[in-house]
Amino acid sequence: MKKGIVVAVRQGQDREKKNNVLYVTIARLPSKMQNGNLWFPKNAETLITACFNFAYSPDQYNRHKDLPIGSLVEISTAINEYTDKPFVQDLKVVVKSAFTDEQLF
């Protein structure tokens, strides 16, 4: 599993069906290799955006809509059968952020 820090949470609407959609942007952290060294992701792989559609997964939408910026999360990925591309299947909150809005903005 990959770990990351939440850098943005925003709500929007699907263009086609006008469903509520939640976008969670995560900055991926380095992974520790077996020899103890850190492996850093490429710049293009550092930011990951998870998309949760209320119509298809209302529990995940509601669970992550109030996720504070700066929270540490574990990222579970899966492969889309039609496009063969990875996507974020779920996020597990490891530690919620202790930062306030005044400290962040």
Report pLDDT digits (tens) over 8-48. 999 999 888 889 999 999 999 999 889 989 999 898 889 99
For the chain, what percent of residues have pLDDT higher than 90?
59
Range 70-86 average pLDDT? 90
Dihedral-angle region of residue 59 (phi above 0 means left; psi in -120 to 50 means alpha; beta otherwise):
alpha
Looking at this protein, which amino acid is placed at residue 63?
R
Strands 31-32 and 2-13: unpaired
Closest CA to 20 of 63, 60, 61, 81: 61
Instruction: Tell me what pLDDT residue 3 has.
Output: 93
Strand partners, 101: none
